[in-house]
Structure 1
Amino acid sequence: MVVVLCLLLLGLWGASWPAPSAVVCDRAAPSQVYCRATLPPPWAWLLSQSFLLDDVAIASELCDNNPHGGVRFCHRLTLLGANHQITLPEVRTPLSAAALNEQLRQFVAGEGSPRLSWSSPGSVLPWRTLVIGLLLLSASWALWDVRWPPVAPSPLALDGAVPARRAIDTKD
């Protein structure tokens, strides 16, 4: 049972590939934008993904319409390239989807700064860390009483004539 639980937790942890923590897009020439995504700290040592940006998809919704704070839209950008698709963390801004799309179009066309970057603050203790912690805790719980070399039981205890605890005690 413990082995099944450990394998289930390990599978859950491994299947939850994190979103990139930072994406940097450099414009080499108009309509030629190269993007590079880096992963959050546990996976940061892996190679970063670099690709040529083909298109940007934007999914937007109205987050809140507060009379004191103004209108806020929630945008989720997806960077599309050959064999790459990276969805960025949600961005809250007063810009509408049309205005954001226009700014991205201007960047790709060669206007403004040659570098565009996104970064997201990581959570202090992501849930993946909790899952791997539970995995290690359950594995150590399952193996806490393993001794090497194993203690051989008394021959009388194998027959069932003497309870296992009393087989070692010879004072009776």
Structure 2
Amino acid sequence: MKPQAGKHMGDPRLEMLLDKEAIRDCIHRYCRGIDRADEAALLSSYWPDAHDCHGAYDGPVSGFFDRVRTAWARRPRNIHNVGNILITFLESDRAAVETYFIAFQRGRGADGVERQVLLCGRYCDVFEKRAEEWRVLKRTVVYDWVDHQEPPSEGEAERFGPRHPIGAAWPDDPLYAMLCDNG
């Protein structure tokens, strides 16, 4: 059963908890979007007029999306894990959100060279609520740790061995079969 949006018996504490949970859900959708090459999930985490400062990119979120699509075409392997999420409401429809992340990334760059890196840092976001929905309006990625690693020499079949299924991009990841299963 899908939860209903809107006012909940006029209790501001309950509204605040529901707003915080909606913000957390948005952060988690972003991670799914990036890691599973799930464009719908990624797009749903930002407002179309958002600004993103993400490492080498600083500009309208549409430009960030273009960079992500280019990276997805090279079939990277990403895992983003978020931890501490501190939400401070600035106004009833704006919040400052600091989210700690750990990201493992492996893939070929535009130059064809495979790289692997462990990144740790924080998403410092301004979230905005529009029509009962919270999304990122402005994101600044703050990097606190970067560890360049040697990519493995063997392929996935050798590394994963009998461990199946192996995570994949949308729509091939087992998650999407589960989400579409109505039984």
Calculate the TM-score normalised by the size of structure 2: 0.22
Tell which has more relative contact order, 1 or 2 (C-alpha 8 A, sep 6+).
Answer: 1
Larger Rg: 1
Structure number with the higher strand fraction is 2
Calculate the TM-score normalised by the size of structure 1: 0.23
